[in-house]
Amino acid sequence: MTRDRVRLLLAVLATLAVVLPLGYFWQQSRLPSTYSVMDMGYLDYGGGPRGITGHRGMAGMNDTSGTTSVRDLVETRGGPADVTVRLVARKETVRIAGRDFEGYTLNGTTPGPTITVTKGQLLEVHLRNQDVPAGITLHWHGLDVPNAEDGVAGVTQDAVLKGEEHSYRFVARQAGSYW
């Protein structure tokens, strides 16, 4: 073999040593042909420590002396709400990009309806879980709301189980559009 052919062979082998593993890893990292966030993670229904009125409770968490319940971290402004919204969560078939999927809706749409509030207005949202088996909460991405209104199941709120209702109430202290 000539010196040029040896160099060419080494260059081809070095290229394959880099490209083949990259191709393999790329192929393995692609999303599957079907994908559902409904199949991810585990269900956390909330609970919080026992002894705090209204919580379903977690075993072994009985000492609540010197604590403040998240349920007490709410909006202090009283009176009627400036904007009131009623949302019903349902498990149903939704059509996205021409395909049908089993999913969840708020008032029959996904994503749910737009809620428009002016900065400084008191918002009250009544959520009813019609038939979402695992429970549901509303989390206000990007909005700075009182902790009890934040809607993180297992952290700031118990999940609203099938057939239950929950009301969120807070002042919109920020202006802008949020997801």
Asked whether the predicted pLDDT for residue 51 surpasses 50, the reply is: no
Residue 139: inside a domain: yes
Asked whether residue 20 is assigned to any structural domain, the reply reads yes
| Domain extent at residue 83 | 71-179
Q: Report pLDDT for 32.
A: 65
What is the tally of structural domains in the chain? Answer: 2
Tokens read off for 117: 């509030």
In the chain, what percentage of residues exceed pLDDT 90? 39
| Cα–Cα dist 131/136, whole Å | 10
3-state secondary structure of 157: strand
pLDDT for res 50: 45
Q: Is residue 12 part of a domain?
A: yes
Q: Is residue 138 in some structural domain?
A: yes
81 and 166 share one domain: yes
Q: Answer for the pair 161, 107: CB distance below 8 angstroms, yes or no.
A: no
Confidence of residue 38 (pLDDT cuts 50, 70, 90): low
Considering the domain architecture, whether residues 26 and 96 belong to the same structural domain is answered as no
Look at the alpha carbons of 167, 117, 115, 155 in this order and tell me if their dihedral is positive or negative: negative
Residue 40 maps to a domain: no
Residue 56, domain member (yes or no): no
- Whether pTM > 0.95 for this model: the answer is no
The mean pLDDT value for 64-89 works out to 81
